[in-house]
Amino acid sequence: MKKLLILVLLFISITSYSYAEWEVSPAAKKWFTNYARNISAKNSDQKEILYFEWFANNLNELIAKKKLSDAQSNLINDLIKLSNEHIFELEIKINESDSKSILDNNPLLSEFKLKSYNPENIFLENWVWYTYNYDKHLVFPKWANVTKKDLSYNHIDTQTSIAFLEKDWTLWFLVEFQKVKLITDDIIYWVSDKYDFLKEIKDDKKKLNTETDELFKKLKLNSIIISKWKTKIQKIKWLYDFVLNNLEYPKTFSLDDARLFSGIDAYKNKLWVCEWYTKMFKYMLNFSYVNNVDVSRWYVIDALDFPKVWHAWITIWSDYYDPTFDDPIWNVKTKTFEQYIYYSLPKDLFYTNRFDFDKLPEYLKDKDMDFRKWVINQKTALLISKYKSNWYNLLKPYIMRLDKWIKFDKKLDIEDLKTIMWFSDVENLKVTKDWKTKNIASLLYYVVDWNSVENMLEQLEYNLDWYYLYKWKLDDWSYEYRLAYNVVFN
């Protein structure tokens, strides 16, 4: 990293230069153009993308860890912008080159006045990104076999229909369609993962086609303010906190409500489902120069709506995050960072309760929640020895059960608490401790009932050190169980 800083600062003259945020200084642009040309000469497009992802990632860490002048920081930020745009240009090239060659050179397809070279149907006009939403389309599995007779029979007009190739090389014709604005390019000029960013916006606009530029500008500004001068790890942590503290999962909703699944709209409304938790997190990470951020949408088998509805989560490089599952729906209080369960997990641990689309065993779709939780417990138990020393919150209930000789699938109740911690009856503030009767002068406590034990332990991170369980006799001769701490005896 130090060598990278020397390389950058040694060969680029640092001068004060005033320019719009979507521009870069001439010195940075000149140096980067030559540098990228040298890298390109030695690598394939795909390897070049990987290199500049590494390059941008390390420049980010330099800004956070080194004491740089404002001019130096601006220079490095310019290089990050240029790296992100260069990666985007390479991704567009990779995704469009073969398609362009086929659509332009095939005798029949070349007759189409309207062609979309991008398999995602994303295109730029006058510095604004667009896509097509369509009402009527036709798909042919093999583009090379399509004939003029096929076009005529299906009423596909070469002058008014749009031809494009999907990623699986199926040939699509859009017959009835609308041109839909995604976003102005200057808002996302330098954003990380720009190609995927546009794909997510496109997905939003399929569900709710509204003007969103101003919302994105506000989200971008918030992201920059929150992440400034922070390392990648710090950015992820702060932005995860922001999402959980500013969104609330609705207690009731309809899957027919398109707004629930339109990403940027939730930034305004503050009330959304998993799709937007993950999208808002991704958008903010990308605005903050964090790259390799992917949204996944597959099955979570302990979700109440399984298997009808897919769930969404985030991958950053090789770490997995689920902000939806870390935001307590029925609790008023948002979790603290130390209480997050689905934050920065390895894949095998993260996937103990979920499956990719083609990996889900068919028999699970018809099983009840108890059976599905049993499956999760079995998968998780196998990973305890591998990750026990990592202190993942996800494993704490399993480790505690293992240490106390309790079955993994046993729902803990007050009788279990009596066996794993110090317990006593209390009457008139008198309690037996160390085989002696003592008076309680003061204490703090939680009231525990039979059904709240597991939730209480989760809040305490399964650490019962310095806690006492009391069966407390009340004035009306009834009892309540109190989980006490900060107990002072006379």
Using one digit for the tens of pLDDT, what is the confidence trace for 46-55? Answer: 999 999 999 9
User: Domain residues of the chain, as ranges?
Assistant: 2-95, 106-185, 194-391, 414-489
By mean pLDDT, which of 135-149, 158-172, 210-224 is the weakest?
135-149
φ, ψ (nearest 5 deg) of residue 448:
-115, 130
The closest of 184, 343, 193, 212 to 283, measured between CA atoms, is 193
Which of the four pLDDT bands, split at 50, 70 and 90, describes residue 283? very high
23 versus 383: which is more confidently predicted? 383
Region 114-133 average pLDDT: 92
For the chain, the average pLDDT equals 85
User: Position of tokens 């309680």?
Assistant: 440
Q: Helix axis angle, 274-287 relative to 232-246, nearest 10°?
A: 140
Using one digit for the tens of pLDDT, what is the confidence trace for 178-192? Answer: 999 999 999 998 899
CA separation for the pair 154, 174 (Å, rounded): 11
The answer, yes or no, to whether residue 2 has pLDDT greater than 60, is no
The answer, yes or no, to whether residue 5 has pLDDT greater than 70, is no
pLDDT at residue 330, rounded to an integer: 45
Cα 459 from chain centroid (whole Å): 24
Using one digit for the tens of pLDDT, what is the confidence trace for 370-420? Answer: 899 999 999 999 999 999 888 899 999 898 888 888 888 888 889 988 888
The answer, yes or no, to whether residue 10 has pLDDT greater than 50, is no
Residue-wise burial string across 440-469, b where 16 or more C-beta atoms lie within 10 A, e elsewhere = beebebeebeeebbeeebbbbbbebeebbb
CA separation for the pair 366, 139 (Å, rounded): 33
35 versus 63: which is more confidently predicted? 35
The answer, yes or no, to whether residue 328 has pLDDT greater than 80, is no
Rounded to two decimals, what is the model's pTM? 0.84
The answer, yes or no, to whether residue 468 has pLDDT greater than 50, is yes
- Please tell me whether the peptide bond between 328 and the residue prior to it is cis, using omega within 30 degrees of 0: no
Length of the chain: 490
The closest of 199, 384, 361 to 279, measured between CA atoms, is 199
CA separation for the pair 221, 470 (Å, rounded): 51
Using one digit for the tens of pLDDT, what is the confidence trace for 61-93? Answer: 887 776 777 778 888 888 999 999 999 999 999
Percentage of the chain modeled with pLDDT above 90: 41
Using one digit for the tens of pLDDT, what is the confidence trace for 239-268? Answer: 999 888 876 555 555 555 555 555 565 555
How far are the Cα atoms of 24, 292, 314, 319 from residue 342, in angstroms, in the given order?
38, 18, 10, 10
* CATH number for the domain formed by residue range(s) 194-391: 3.10.620
Using one digit for the tens of pLDDT, what is the confidence trace for 222-237? Answer: 999 999 888 889 999 9
The answer, yes or no, to whether residue 152 has pLDDT greater than 80, is yes
